[in-house]
Amino acid sequence: MWPGVVSPVQGQDTNNPDKHSPKIGLALSGGGAKGFAHIGVLKVLEEAGIQPDIVTGTSMGSVVGGLYAIGYTPAMLEEIALSNNWEEFFSNRAPRQYQSIYQKTNHSQNLLTFPFKDGSVRLPRGLIKGQKIAMMLYRLTEPYHGVTNFRNLPIPFAAIATDLATGEAVRMDRGYLPDAIRASIAIPSIFEPVEIDSVSYIDGGVVRNIPASDARELGADIVISSDVSSSLAPVDSLKSFVNILSQAVGFTMQASNKQQLALTDIHIQPAIGSYSAFDFEQAAQLIQKGEQAARKMLPQLKALADSLDKPKNKLPPVPQQSDTLLIKELQINGSNSYIRDRLKNSLHLEPPTRQSLSELEYKLTRIYNSGSFTDLISYRLQQLPDQDGYLLNLDISTQNQQTVGLGARYDSHYKASLLFSGTFNKIFTPGDVLLADLRLGEQIQLQSNYFLPLSFYPKTDLALMGSITRLPIDIFNNNQRISKIDVEQLSFSHHLRVEIMPELFFGIGPHFEVFNLNEAIGETLFLSNIDGLITAQMLVYGDSFDHAYFPSKGQKLFIKSDLSDRRWGSSRSFFQLTADWETRLPVSDRFSFLSRLTAGRTISYSSTLPLHYRYFGGGAVPISIYQERQFPLLGYEVQELSGQHIQSLELGAQLRVKNTFLQFKWNAASFSDQSKWKIQPSNFKSGFGISGGTKTIIGPVELILMAPDFDGPYALRINVGHSF
């Protein structure tokens, strides 16, 4: 007889057990990605005829256990494990399909980012906010948003978290299910603590990783534990701060596990010692390991099922999510009235209205990634009493959190460069943001961009931009560098920018600048007096690339026009129109074709075009300053070719092997000062290049071998770090 199991009373109808019928509790431990093994264990439990009456979970065990408790089958859980990009959950950066077009223009440039408060730099409470995994949990648990007592779920459930103030384990069997799960998985230093009712919680595995006692407290007579805890590692194997953090937590965990296993009747421990808590890409193998470990215990599991002598519980109903939800009421909590009104207007949701859950999640994710929200946007759907509709509750936060960052990069032409950046919000009004960057190196730039949001969805901003720039431009004659000119520029512009669609925005506004040119090689020569321009600018920018670096699919479009006229005080009269279009056409998951088409036309009205408004070509990587007029051209030195007009074509292919990318590109371009703009094949300069690259924690790393033709000369170029 199993401990805690009472023999049926003589004459008792075992087909109608009373309230004293023995209950089986399933305790699922924490372990990060190793928790996927629980799914394999669940498969075998169902095969053995065991249906848990109670489920408790810690950390990843709370994710698997919480979803299982509301009706997700092992097959459905396996699909969730295999179909999600779990590495994305460990990044504050939104997946590119959710990023606004403005975020794509200001992609990640920093190696390190720190909070800045009260005039000093501070360490963050956690590296990850957790918005991405929160949105997934809100969606998956939607049918049970209204259940506040987890004992009333199809299978009673509790998640284990740690109270950050007291260090005590907390059994969370009430509240809002996705928030309880988030609290249980808030890995210290990785995720920010989760605040619920003014109490901060972190990962339950810190104190109690195997929640066997909690299953007992919820009424379990027999406890089955699925344990994916890590054992203590040899000191010489601790090679990173993550390993050391795990080891530090492991001392307390080992003592707790010993106590919890004493309360366990069947202990299933998958053989996953070679896997780490972050091996999310090994989900299929981990599920298999869990299944193998449980299958070894199959005789005991079947014996347990037979010994209980009670009918099987009916399986919980599979969660059903409607195609559309009838939202009859909307309530927004938190922040201030300005942000609440902007959020409401941006949602384009006027109750009563029907809204699909995927569309709602898409809108909220896009709004969150507008940059106006420093903490999570959470939502909760509650069915209205005696009605067939829902109340949509939104909770938002816009704390005045400032950040500073440090970036670094190296390329063969401009050598090492440093970037100091800052992001400051709520400068004048709620929702505004100021971005400030200082670039040091051969290219020097102090730049600030102030954005005042007029609408979050579709995103509309008033953008004020100012910069002080010094950029060297090489002057070539007959393929030989003969001089270097430093362009010194002070500029200011303000644009109205409207997001036409998620991947495209339109901007228009005036641009003011003063500039000076100085010869930087040999004896300093003052080439011209300080000059000024006033231009009317129009900009169209679109980006649907799947990645910022080494994209495999999508398109990028850039169209810009500048009109300068002496009649409104500008020193020159000219019109310039530039169009640049890149495409990536995937043939398979690993192979893509690449193309790029660039055209630029300048019309000067009896005046000389400023040097930095000419088009330049050459080099292996784009130049971020004046990038709308400086283009890479394989086989040539940076800025080796120039002219008032440009016609350029690039073709190539890309092969991805895991996280490594191989590219072959061929390009041809014509730079001309001729007034007649037509395609003349004899004017085109061609070249090609073979490159290999990868993404690293310091940004992309790329090696390029290029030449104007197969006879050479060949040149090797390197690019390391985020572009800025």
The neighbour count for residue 362, using CB atoms within 10 Å, is: 16
Q: What is the largest CA-CA distance in the chain?
A: 111
Token pair, residue 163, equals 């109270």
Q: Are 95 and 502 in contact (CB under 8 A)?
A: no
Strands 531-543, 574-586: pairing is unpaired
What's the burial of 151, exposed, middle or buried (CB within 10 Å: 0-12/13-18/19+)? middle
500 φ/ψ sector (left φ>0, alpha ψ -120 to 50, else beta)? alpha
What's the burial of 149, exposed, middle or buried (CB within 10 Å: 0-12/13-18/19+)? exposed
Token pair, residue 604, equals 């000067």
Q: Are 92 and 129 in contact (CB under 8 A)?
A: yes
* φ, ψ for residue 531, nearest 5 deg: -125, 165
State how far the Cα of 467 lies from the Cα of 384, in Å rounded to an integer: 53
> Which is nearest to 472 in space by CA: 518, 539, 528?
518
What's the burial of 622, exposed, middle or buried (CB within 10 Å: 0-12/13-18/19+)? exposed
Stated as kind and residue range, the H or E segment containing 132 is helix 131-140
The neighbour count for residue 630, using CB atoms within 10 Å, is: 23
State how far the Cα of 438 lies from the Cα of 469, in Å rounded to an integer: 10
- Strand segments, DSSP code E, in 15-83 are 24-28, 54-58
Active site includes 203?
yes
State how far the Cα of 133 lies from the Cα of 220, in Å rounded to an integer: 30
* φ, ψ for residue 714, nearest 5 deg: -95, 145
Q: Are 161 and 183 in contact (CB under 8 A)?
A: yes
Of 203, 221, 461, 543, the active-site residue reads 203
Q: Are 162 and 169 in contact (CB under 8 A)?
A: yes
State how far the Cα of 26 lies from the Cα of 111, in Å rounded to an integer: 43
Residue with tokens 């004017």: 683
Q: Are 227 and 208 in contact (CB under 8 A)?
A: no
Residue with tokens 């298999």: 288
Terminal-to-terminal C-alpha distance of the chain: 70
235 φ/ψ sector (left φ>0, alpha ψ -120 to 50, else beta)? alpha
State how far the Cα of 692 lies from the Cα of 698, in Å rounded to an integer: 16
Token pair, residue 447, equals 């730049």
State how far the Cα of 55 lies from the Cα of 47, in Å rounded to an integer: 18
Q: Which residues contact residue 79 at a Cβ distance below 8 angstroms, ignoring those fewer than 6 apart?
A: none
Token pair, residue 284, equals 């299929």
Token pair, residue 177, equals 């299910």
Token pair, residue 672, equals 């001309």
The four Cα atoms 624, 625, 628, 633 give a dihedral, to 10 degrees, of: -60
State how far the Cα of 59 lies from the Cα of 56, in Å rounded to an integer: 10
Token pair, residue 580, equals 């640049």
Active site includes 59?
yes
Three-class HEC string of 370-384: CCCCCCCCEEEEEEC
State how far the Cα of 218 lies from the Cα of 158, in Å rounded to an integer: 8
Q: Which residues are catalytic?
A: 59, 203
